[in-house]
A and B are shown apart, each in its own frame.
Chain A
Amino acid sequence: MTKTTYRDALRKALLDAMAEDENVILMGEEVGLYGGAYGVTKGLLDHFGANRVIDTPISEPGIVGAAIGAAMTGLRPVAEIMYVDFAGMVMDQLANQAAKSRYMFGGQIGVPMVLRTQGGTGRSAAAQHSQSLEAWMMHTPGLRLAMPATVSDAYHLLRDAMRQPDPVVFIEHKGLYTLKGEISPDPDAPWGQPAIRRDGRDLTIATYSRMLHETLTAAAALAPEVEVEVIDLRCLNPLDDTVLMESVRRTGRCLIVTEAVTTGSVASEIAARVTEQCFDWLEEPPLRLGGEDIPIPVSPALERASIPDAMLIEEVARWLVTREAPSWAA
């Protein structure tokens, strides 16, 4: 199998889906002639023409609103919002319109669209271009939410997203586009379910998106002294937590690692679920290790320090397993 990148896996998913189904269209700022702000849609305009790869004005609510109307009337639009931070512009169309149409209209009108976007830190893009806003999406019944961490998932989750009868928010990570890997013939787990990325008996770490890689680095450093089970959640809404709960009941400990600000986060939701469902099995409280509760600063030194990395994950994991206070906790 040949290696490819996260970016090219996404592009291949779009290309394959568009070749299979002429109802699939792309629309967004710079998706056509420019090839996508991060190059994901490069060349697709030449392949499929301007009626299917639609360069839009800078009108984020209009882009999402138009995608909703196209989805309601028979197309399968993949709309792109260049940065998830622009969710502030589109939340009415996303949360009040796309998410609720099927329900409000008694099941008659679904909105089978994908909203592709990307988030996260790593490029000194500062407070309005670096956020992790998945909790906004998870807090909205009716939206599906997928966040690929691997090259293979970039392909398979996007293909799966484009087959869903309901709106999917698909959040890529700007720091992963150059990640190299292989696209496996089959998805690592069925759509909607987590994948166990590493087996372990001492501690369960639940994570997703770029933090998977920091977590795997930490897990490798901890072994064999501490064996960490690493669970990549992949699809956050609706969240199928069965695999996670089974794991925590085996290990008795759970750490949730995310890049998003910690308060009111996906990590908070998972910690609550683990507390409810694994209370009698827990040796320690479930811990959230997330981004600091601050806007993302631009200085690379500050930006890096504002989110977890492998070293911090390793330290917290060790504390959770041995209850020895880390040096910084004194």
Chain B
Amino acid sequence: MTLANDAPLSRYRTMRRIRTFEERVGELFLKGESAGSMLHLSIGEEAVVGLTDHMKTGDTFTTHHRGHGIFLARGADPMRMLAEIAGREAGYCRGKGGSMHIADRGLGHLGANAIVGGGIPHIVGAGITARNTANQAISVAFFGDGAMSQGILYEAMNMAALWKLPVVFCCINNQYGMGTRVDRSAGKQAFPARAEAFGLNAVRADGADVETVHNDTQAVMEGARDGHPGFVEIDAYRFHGHARMDKSPYRTPEEEAAGRDRDPLIMARTTLDDEAALNTIDAEVTEEMDAAMAGAIAAPVPATDTMFQDVYDPTTPAPQPQRARLASVLEELN
């Protein structure tokens, strides 16, 4: 097998890792081990791997609150991710950020964000850095269809086009911003046309087929590296509710069934047509994620006093705990 022919199988493996990982996140919640219930699963959106496969070491990205899959695709360690989601010291952010604020500077992840659209303009700055230092990196902002209604996106796209920055805006349209279907939030759903109006290269890709996403986003991603900013809409379906407590009462079982029929993993299996190889991958992934899950659950919680670290850089005195502060006030008064 040539390297080129390995790539689709590799993309299937990454998609399977995302799917299984997200299932483990759900289990983490059910076991009572997750930090809270604000866990947003990207099941159904795995074909984003077709786009992330165009990214290279040194590239940077920001994600929204539904970004587990993107981070895994960019090389994250699932144990450290689950540990972070469980609020453990071994997590990527030492249990300070959690699912919605996971990041890793080394892997280029400049931060997941819990403000819709909040991380989008950061890639403009990363693009300025790339331009000024000629570091050859591109930067990608990942967000959902909900952020298509945020003004900051349009400010950022305008700046990217104006300054010809090596950046890509990637909208993973899973049809829902929380409980609001996109046809109830967008006057006109021609999202790539909005980006084109700003002067960006724009494309819509079918999120049911990872190979289509890979092929259809290639020109935009390569263009960005040459200083032509781009926009990609990946047309997908959010298989599950908004967060763990959401049972999706706002949509019909028929609609969900139709959405889940557009499953990028099933599509990839059909295309690859190699049951034995695919089943081997699935078994390996299950084993990997089971180990990650066990490692995360076994990881210790952070010591309480770590809460005062990293408000400012380490040379700045940490804030004083209230109890200690008041004790010293009262002691001095005596």
Contacts and interface: CB of A to CB of B under 8 A. Distances in A.
Contacts of B312: 102, 142, 144, 165-166, 238
A113 to B, nearest CB: 9
Contact of A104 (B101, B132, B137, B139): B101
B97 interface: yes
A106 B97 contact: yes
A276 B311 CA distance: 24
Interface residues of B, number: 56
Contact of B132 (A71, A72, A75): A75
B36 to A, nearest CB: 15
Residue among B60, B129, B315 with most chain A CB within 10 A = B129
A54 B311 CA distance: 30
Interface stretch (B115-123, B186-194, B201-209): B115-123
Given A52-B132, A62-B159, A141-B319, A69 B125 contact: yes
B162 interface: yes
Nearest to A59: B155
A263 interface: no
Interface stretch (A89-97, A178-186, A221-229, A313-321): A89-97
A67 B121 CA distance: 9
A9 to B, nearest CB: 26
Contact of B128 (A70, A110, A277, A279): A70
B241 to A, nearest CB: 25
Nearest to A273: B329
B208 to A, nearest CB: 32
Interface residues on A, range: 35 or more
B111 interface: yes
Given A61-B151, A109-B103, A25 B132 contact: yes
Nearest to A79: B125
13 contacts: A56-B159, A61-B151, A66-B124, A66-B159, A69-B121, A72-B122, A73-B125, A75-B129, A101-B111, A102-B312, A104-B97, A105-B111, A166-B312
A77 B319 contact: no
A69 B313 contact: no
Interface of A: 23, 25, 27, 51-52, 54, 56-57, 59, 61-62, 64-75, 77, 92-93, 96-97, 101-110, 141-142, 144, 164-166, 238, 276-277, 279-280
Question: Which of B95, B121, B309, B314 is most buried by chain A, counting CB atoms within 10 A of its CB?
Answer: B121
A296 B263 CA distance: 58
A108 B105 contact: yes
B184 to A, nearest CB: 24
B39 to A, nearest CB: 16
B316 interface: yes
B305 interface: no
Contact of B126 (A70, A141, A276): A70
Contact of A106 (B122, B123, B310): B310
Contacts of A279: 333
Is chain B's binding surface mostly helix, strand, loop or mixed? mixed
Interface of B: 60, 62, 91-97, 101, 103-105, 110-111, 113, 115, 118-133, 137, 139, 151-152, 155-156, 158-159, 162-163, 309-317, 319, 329, 332-333
A221 to B, nearest CB: 34
A165 B132 contact: no
B124 A25 contact: no
A105 B156 contact: no
Given A69-B110, A70-B129, A109-B105, A104 B96 contact: yes
B93 A65 contact: no
Given A51-B131, A66-B156, 18 more contacts: A57-B158, A59-B159, A62-B156, A65-B156, A68-B121, A69-B110, A73-B129, A73-B130, A75-B128, A97-B113, A104-B93, A105-B92, A106-B94, A106-B96, A107-B94, A108-B104, A142-B312, A277-B332
Contacts of A108: 93, 103-105
Nearest to A75: B129
Per CB-CB distance, the 8 closest pairs between chain A and chain B, nearest first, are: A65-B121, A69-B125, A62-B155, A69-B122, A70-B125, A106-B93, A59-B155, A106-B94
Contacts of A144: 312
A165 to B, nearest CB: 4
Nearest to A56: B159
Nearest to B167: A69
B159 A72 contact: no
Contacts of A59: 155, 158-159
Contact of B125 (A61, A68, A107): A68
Contacts of B131: 51
B319 to A, nearest CB: 7
A75 B129 CA distance: 6
A72 B313 contact: no
A141 B319 CA distance: 9
